[in-house]
Amino acid sequence: SKEECPDEGNLPDAYPEKQTGAQHLRFIFHRMGLSDRDIVALSGAHTLGRAFKERSGTTECGYGPKKGTKFTGLCPYHPAGARSDSMGMGGGKSWTKDWLIFDNSYFTDYLKNYGKDKDLIWFPTDHALVTDQDFKKYFALYALDQNEFFKDFAFSFKK
């Protein structure tokens, strides 16, 4: 229903107040016909990109190289700095160290540092993927097997 959907242009709340992270993910994605496995696979898209203060307000890191982290201050492929309006512009806070490479690092990076690297962002909804029993098995699978992640991501994305 309209009441259940976020305002136009906004993403569902990464910091749900009335639900656990796992409940929130299921509330948002099960109504779209997606399974728990789909949710975890599609969450792996966080291996790309960053969150920005100006867009979501979920981080203090904003636009520009001086407002990024050690991973996002400059584009890794344009050390002299990318144009301010391009995908590789500096700033924001990423989920992974190499935020322009699509791989399974969203899963492996978390298991290496348990979400404690202050230069990487990690929401309660991300944390739910490693604490909820049903999500956790897929998270571990994708950390161990990048090809399985790619296969499942492609399948889920097509849905």
User: Which pLDDT belongs to residue 81?
Assistant: 52
User: Which pLDDT belongs to residue 12?
Assistant: 56
State the DSSP code for 3: G
User: Which pLDDT belongs to residue 54?
Assistant: 80
User: Which pLDDT belongs to residue 7?
Assistant: 55
* Consecutive H or E run containing 92: none
Give which of 128, 150, 158 is closest to 41, Cα–Cα.
150
User: Which pLDDT belongs to residue 61?
Assistant: 80
User: Which pLDDT belongs to residue 78?
Assistant: 59
Q: How many residues does the chain have?
A: 159
Low-confidence ranges of the chain (pLDDT < 70): 1-17, 74-88
Q: Is 152 exposed, middle or buried (0-12, 13-18, 19+ CB in 10 A)?
A: buried
